[in-house]
């Protein structure tokens, strides 16, 4: 292990939890817990909060990884101040602190920065047009990071799941054990992406950038789309989860035949969802030589981990 220091924010979240393991070979991972500094309690405003500044300067990290975010998409519609603090202000402050201390910054964003109306897959340079408070604040965060830190990596991802934390896959397993029929949205398309895959790819890309001492002006810094290969709907995703879970011996009331596809319009929620969440990963694959497994591989792995 090198003597690098990696300061990890959001270490107890889905992606953060997976990053603790994935980043360990790259250096000493300093995990920031809510008990040490509750980001949600930082003062709102333009100035970098003293507590945050003091913490970063005391650690003197070589890398700052920000896996902290406000991810309650519907609640954000009525809690915009808190969503903006965590998704826009904090990333901007961390970008400034990274630039100040000579660290590079890794940050995560979302398919929600797009409106979901494109026919094909979204590339990194496509125009953004968020349709929700969550998407708008995540875009603000992206812009703040890009404006303040030369050596930054922003990974846009989608439909994140894992063995740790709450997510669609685990919700389906819970509901599948409680109910014998479910109605699932079938007209939103994306790629379910495991937290473990996000963490592994982050570590691979970071290792390349750090080991090769990539210059701040190099175009490999910037935004990359990071999702599993393939695409599916929430409905087909749920059906796959139930089929696999049944094969693995989960005791379910629901069957793949007892779930009904419904339209987004028939499932009213506070925040508008993109119908097309497909992100093009050619830049990531070609620039860094990384193979991305199908989304089904991640689902199989998480189901196996949850069954053990």
In a domain, 138, yes or no: yes
* Beta strands, E only, 70-164: 104-110, 152-157, 160-161
Task: State how many domains the chain has.
Answer: 1
In a domain, 18, yes or no: yes
**Diameter over CA atoms, the chain:** 57
Pairing of strands 152-157, 222-225: parallel
Q: Which residue has the tokens 């990194």?
A: 124
184 Cβ neighbours under 8 A, 6+ residues apart: 234, 235, 238, 259, 260, 261, 262
Q: Distance (Å, rounded) from C-alpha 191 to C-alpha 188?
A: 10
In a domain, 48, yes or no: yes
Residue numbers annotated as active site? 134
Tokens of 182: 């479910």
3-state SS class at 253: coil
What is the Rg, in whole angstroms, of the alpha carbon atoms belonging to the chain? 19
Question: Is the pTM value of this prediction over 0.85?
Answer: yes
pLDDT reported for residue 2: 76
Neighbours of 301 (CB within 10 A): 16
Beta carbons of 85 and 140 less than 8 angstroms apart: no
In a domain, 77, yes or no: yes
pLDDT reported for residue 1: 55
pLDDT reported for residue 35: 81
Q: Distance (Å, rounded) from C-alpha 135 to C-alpha 173?
A: 27
In a domain, 155, yes or no: yes
In a domain, 186, yes or no: no
Question: Which tens digits make up the pLDDT trace of 114-159?
Answer: 999 999 999 999 999 999 999 999 999 999 999 999 999 999 999 9
Domain boundaries, position 61: 5-167+191-230+274-295
Cα–Cα nearest to 168, from 250, 232, 90? 232
* Cα angle for residues 288, 291, 293 (degrees, 5° grid): 145
In a domain, 23, yes or no: yes
Enumerate helices (H) and strands (E) in the chain, giving the number of each.
10, 12
CATH number for 10: 3.40.50.720
In a domain, 72, yes or no: yes
Cα–Cα nearest to 31, from 53, 9, 52? 9
The stretches in the chain having pLDDT less than 50 are none
């Amino acid at each position: 292990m090198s003597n690098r220091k990696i300061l990890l924010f959001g270490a107890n979240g889905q992606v953060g939890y997976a990053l603790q393991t994935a980043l360990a070979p790259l250096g000493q991972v300093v995990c920031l817990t809510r008990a040490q500094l509750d980001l949600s309690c930082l003062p709102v405003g333009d100035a970098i909060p003293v507590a945050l500044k003091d913490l970063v300067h005391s650690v003197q990290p070589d890398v700052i990884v920000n896996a902290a975010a406000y991810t309650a998409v519907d609640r954000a519609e009525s809690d915009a101040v808190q969503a903006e603090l965590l998704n826009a202000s904090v990333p901007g402050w961390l970008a400034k602190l990274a630039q100040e201390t000579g660290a590079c910054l890794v940050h995560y964003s979302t398919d929600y920065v797009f409106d979901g109306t494109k026919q094909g897959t979204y590339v990194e340079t496509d125009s953004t047009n968020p349709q929700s408070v969550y998407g708008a604040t995540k875009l603000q965060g992206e812009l703040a990071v890009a404006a303040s830190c030369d050596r930054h990596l922003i990974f846009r991802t989608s439909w994140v799941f894992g063995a740790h934390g709450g997510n669609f896959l685990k919700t389906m397993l819970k509901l599948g054990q409680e109910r014998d029929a479910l109605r699932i949205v079938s007209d939103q398309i994306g790629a379910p992406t495991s937290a473990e895959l996000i963490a592994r790819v982050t570590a691979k890309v970071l290792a390349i950038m750090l080991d090769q001492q990539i210059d701040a002006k190099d175009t490999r810094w910037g935004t990359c789309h990071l999702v599993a290969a393939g695409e599916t709907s929430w409905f087909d995703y749920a059906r796959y989860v139930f089929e696999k879970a049944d094969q693995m011996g989960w005791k379910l009331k629901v069957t793949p035949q007892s779930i009904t596809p419904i339209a987004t319009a028939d499932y009213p929620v506070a925040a508008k969802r993109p119908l097309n969440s497909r992100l093009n990963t050619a830049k990531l694959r070609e620039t860094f030589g990384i193979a991305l497994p199908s989304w089904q591989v991640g689902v199989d792995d998480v189901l196996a981990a949850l069954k053990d």
